[in-house]
Structure 1
Amino acid sequence: MKIAVAKEVREGESRVAMVPELVGKLTALGYEVAVEPGAGERALASDEDYEGAGAQVTPDAFHGAALVVSVQPLEPSAVRRLAAGTATLSFLPATQSPELVADLRDCGVTAFAMELVPRISRAQSMDALSSQSLVSGYRCAIVAAGLLRRFFPLNMTAAGTVPPAEVVVLGAGVAGLQAIATCKRLGAVVRAYDVRAAAAEEIRSMGAVAIDLELETLEGTGGYAREMTEDRAARQRDLLAPYIANADALITTAAVPGRQAPLLVTAAMVEQMRPGSVVVDLAAESGGNVEGAVPGQVVRIGNAQVWGGANVPSQMPGPASKLYAQNIVNLVTLMTRDGAFDPDFDDEIVAGSCVTHGGQVRHEPTRALLEGVQ
């Protein structure tokens, strides 16, 4: 059976779904691997690298493939070229892409969404949201350090002492914890806040100070926080305001896939920050944690430069691709039986990540949305 690796065509996407060093893991499972020409170029993987790893590089990579892997979902024109029964594995924001899901259904394609992999212990090695958040957290800390025109670490010299930068991180999921860890490695003084009770200990374990606002915690499911009321949000913003005003750099990372990012910081709060301060909003694409942040742009609010994240993992395509490809390999291994791609839909990981199969939409929220549209 053949696995095809798609060349990403979406603007700004630099990752690739499979890297040459992991091709051997797929061939060891019994697969042929076919790669579209140039698929890995932006992740610094050449066609020759893939061929050296045992893959075939061909413009007809999709022909006869049992499975097509990609980072972004395939374009509708590519979906319509797939034979019925072909499977796809990619990120697929199903409820935000109902027309694409309808195409997948009508073409008889079995589509799996990486962001729907259940967040359970057995699926940790397949959790692409976490692996890509790791990259994003590191990247946003580096961006903050690069934009801030002062040292992150304490410096004591014969000419005098330069105090360390003060960094505040909002959100202590995978991205937030990695941002904290990276800022600490760079020598900054870091304070962080998250609405989940367990987060305070995780923040302290990274060497940061956990901000305690003495508000009720908001534990949700799947490791995410539950939504807060507007009164609770307003009170939280009031209590966070002095911490943000005193920060040299603010990094916000609070987001839940498929939902609007919570507004944590108003423009008025940013305007209280000191001259030369920096704000990095990792959630800008999903509505933004910071009022006025623009995805893919640096804007000025008061005295601060505000950097809005846009496809942040793609800004580090090499490591992001390698981590994502390992997630793919682990998931494909789970779905392989007797040398063939044969997903077991009684398995909760397989069932939970499936969007379409057998001409049906299996993802309940998307099915309800499509039925409502139709």
Structure 2
Amino acid sequence: MQVGVRREQRAGERRVAATPETVRQLTGLGLSLVVESGAGDAAGFPDSEYRAAGAELAAELPLASVDVLLHVRPLPPDTAAALRPGTVTIGFASPASELPTVAALAAGGVTAFALELVPRISRAQSMDALSSQSLVAGYRAVLEAALRYPRFFPLYMTAAGTIPPARVLVLGAGVAGLQAIGTAKRLGARVSANDIRAASADEVASMGGTFINLALDGPAEGAGGYARELGEDRAARQRALLAPHVAAADILITTASIPGRTAPLLVTADMVAGMRAGSVVVDLAAESGGNVEGVVAGCDVPVPVPGGTVTLVGLQDAASAAASDASRLYAKNVANLLALMTVDGKVVPDFDDEVVAGACLTHDGAVRHPGTAATMEARN
């Protein structure tokens, strides 16, 4: 069966869905790989390395003839419509916001697997692209903050005086948040963090951070280990309790997100206005609405405060900015999921397997993911 890897179509996207390493893995399973020329250039993987790994190079990927299409960003509707019935796709799908593409995939009889839907269970960890890309994003968030912050991160004690360490506050202690904590600590900052899941306290401490317990009542953990979306009353109380910690921070990094939903609002404009001049806010959830009021995805927004400004950074394409390592991780997630469905050189999804069934978005002309199907029905 022929597996195709196309150049990503979204402007600014530098990652690639397969690397020479995963080409070797998949050809070893009896699959044939066709890679569109230049697909890996921006991630540091030239055509020559794909060819040496056993892939065929094509000036333009023949969408109508591939059996499997691997991708990073959600497919545009016209690409989905160009695939023949029975084609398998694997990649991020953003089903909640890309309903026209979901409709095109279902109408075309495409079997689409969305990496956002991979169950968060131990045997699926090697296929968990949300986690692997969050690792990259959390690291990148701290570097972006350090570049914009007008002071040092670490403590310096010199003959000319003592420079105190920067105070970093991380909101959300998932994979991205924990990586941000660890990176900020390695740069010498004093780091604190909050997550509505009390169980995160030990993980924050293991990375060298100080956990801020807001003592919110009620369940905080939702399906798959993600944080539960708070009701408005609890969310307002959370913001009120966070306000003094935000005001004390030099760097604020927000990472809270709920897959397929708008990001929760954690920090209001009034809370930002209470920060000191020169402070930096990096919002990793900017592309899904943002955790911080006033943030704009892909832009730096200066907010006037007494004595200067606070910089709001709506981090966009965070993982793509570190395209080489992000692609290595992502491509391995994709290859591992495809390998799970490959038997004797043929891709044969077993829908009795909870990983395969859980990750499937569309199949046989229908939308299989219940949440997406309900959303589409409500909008029709």
Under TM normalisation by the shorter chain, which class is it? over 0.9
Is 1:363–2:365 an aligned residue pair? no
Residue from 247, 255, 258 that aligns with 2:257: 255
The one-letter code sitting in structure 2 at the alignment partner of 1:306 is L
Aligned to 1:47: 47
> SS at the partner of 1:316?
helix
Tell whether the 8 Å contact from 2:156 to 2:165 is kept in structure 1 after alignment: yes
Aligned to 1:141: 142
How far residue 20 of structure 1 moved from its aligned partner, in angstroms, is 1.5
Q: Mean Cα displacement is larger for which, 301-310 or 217-226?
A: 217-226
> CA deviation digits over 1:192-239, x for unaligned, max 9?
000001111111111111112232261222111112122222222222
Provide closer, same or farther for how the CA distance between residues 172 and 84 of structure 1 changes in structure 2, counting only shifts above 3 A: same
The one-letter code sitting in structure 2 at the alignment partner of 1:229 is G
Aligned to 1:9: 9
Aligned to 1:34: 34
Aligned to 1:168: 169
Q: Distance in 2 between matches of 1:305 and 1:371?
A: 41
> SS at the partner of 2:169?
strand
Aligned to 2:19: 19
Q: Distance in 2 between matches of 1:62 and 1:229?
A: 44
Q: Distance in 2 between matches of 1:256 and 1:227?
A: 7
Q: Distance in 2 between matches of 1:220 and 1:4?
A: 36
User: What root-mean-square deviation, in Å, do the aligned CA atoms of Structure 1 and Structure 2 show?
Assistant: 1.3
Tell whether the 8 Å contact from 1:35 to 1:61 is kept in structure 2 after alignment: no
How far residue 63 of structure 1 moved from its aligned partner, in angstroms, is 4.9
Q: List alignment gaps of at least 5 residues for structure 1.
A: none
| Structure 1 stretches of 4+ moved >6 Å | none
- Within a 5 Å distance, the mapping from 1:118-197 to structure 2 comes to 118-197=119-198
Tell whether the 8 Å contact from 1:313 to 1:320 is kept in structure 2 after alignment: yes
How far residue 61 of structure 1 moved from its aligned partner, in angstroms, is 4.5
Tell whether the 8 Å contact from 1:36 to 1:61 is kept in structure 2 after alignment: no
Aligned to 1:86: 87
Q: List alignment gaps of at least 5 residues for structure 2.
A: none
> SS at the partner of 2:90?
strand
Q: Distance in 1 between matches of 2:223 and 2:82?
A: 38
> CA deviation digits over 1:273-326, x for unaligned, max 9?
111111111111111111111100000123311101212111111111110000
Q: Distance in 1 between matches of 2:215 and 2:367?
A: 44
The one-letter code sitting in structure 2 at the alignment partner of 1:226 is R
> SS at the partner of 2:224?
coil
Is 1:313–2:315 an aligned residue pair? no
Aligned length: 374
- Percent identity (aligned): 57
Tell whether the 8 Å contact from 2:74 to 2:98 is kept in structure 1 after alignment: no
Aligned to 1:278: 280
> CA deviation digits over 1:21-42, x for unaligned, max 9?
2210011111111001111121
